[in-house]
Amino acid sequence: MQFIKFEKVRDGKYLKNYEITYQNKAGREKKYEIVSRRELSTIEDVGGAPSGVSIVATMDDKLLLLHEFRMGVNRSVYNLCAGMLEPKETIEDCIVRELYEETGLRVKNIKKILPPSYAAVAISDTTTYIAFVEAEGEISDNSSENEQIEARLYTREEVCELLEKEPFSSRAQMAAFYFAQFGSF
């Protein structure tokens, strides 16, 4: 594939839309649309800096899942605690802040932070870290008025039941399946 042109077509508050013109392997000119959370100037900027984190949290042999309304699918889905990095914030500070903001829980131990991975490769260059943590404390609602989130800790048996009948985000579904099969991380 050979890139020909790269341009911004819309500048939203949280997402920026770009159009990539390229020549396909048959030599024909094609256009492809992507969204990014970041300001991109050139094609080389695509896939750059990570924008956030997804948190796989456990506590007392239970998995933390959020049941939250997601506007993009017009329904509530089971999801991981997640959020965006603030300017000049470390990934560790982001994990602590997001876990508390969405659940009221505190980080007891960060077990592992995986390198950034792409969140939606077909439509976006957004990359996020995945963090595995042990949490402590009591669940409380500290979310913004723009979020509808119910945080809860689930046993392996409860997670098995949810996996059979409830909608999940893909990352949360993979984490939940692994937890249901093998227990802790």
Burial of 100 (0-12, 13-18, 19+ CB in 10 A): middle
pTM above 0.85, yes or no: yes
According to the model, what pLDDT value does residue 14 have? Answer: 86
Question: 170-182 and 156-165 helices cross at what angle (nearest 10)?
Answer: 140
pLDDT for position 17: 96
Q: Is the dihedral of CA 128, 102, 173, 95 positive or negative?
A: positive
Mean pLDDT of the chain: 94
DSSP string, 70-127: ETTTTEEEEE-EEEEPPTT--HHHHHHHHHHHHHS-EEEEEEEEEEEEES-TTTB--E
Could you tell me the mean pLDDT of each successive run of 10 residues in the chain, 185 residues long?
93 93 96 93 88 96 96 94 94 97 96 94 93 97 83 97 97 97 85
Q: Where are the domains of the chain?
A: 2-45, 52-182
- Is the distance from CB of 126 to CB of 119 less than 8 angstroms? yes
Q: Each residue of 123-145: pLDDT tens digit?
A: 999 999 999 999 999 999 877 78
Q: Which of 145, 77, 64 minimizes the C-alpha distance to 106?
A: 64
- Would you tell me which CATH number, out of the four given (3.30.565.10, 3.40.50.1220, 3.30.465.10, 3.90.79.10), belongs to the domain 52-182? 3.90.79.10
* pLDDT value for 141: 81
Phi, psi of 42 (to 5 degrees): -135, 170
- The burial class, CB within 10 Å (0-12 / 13-18 / 19+), for 49 is exposed
Cα 185 to Cα 170: distance, rounded to the nearest angstrom = 18
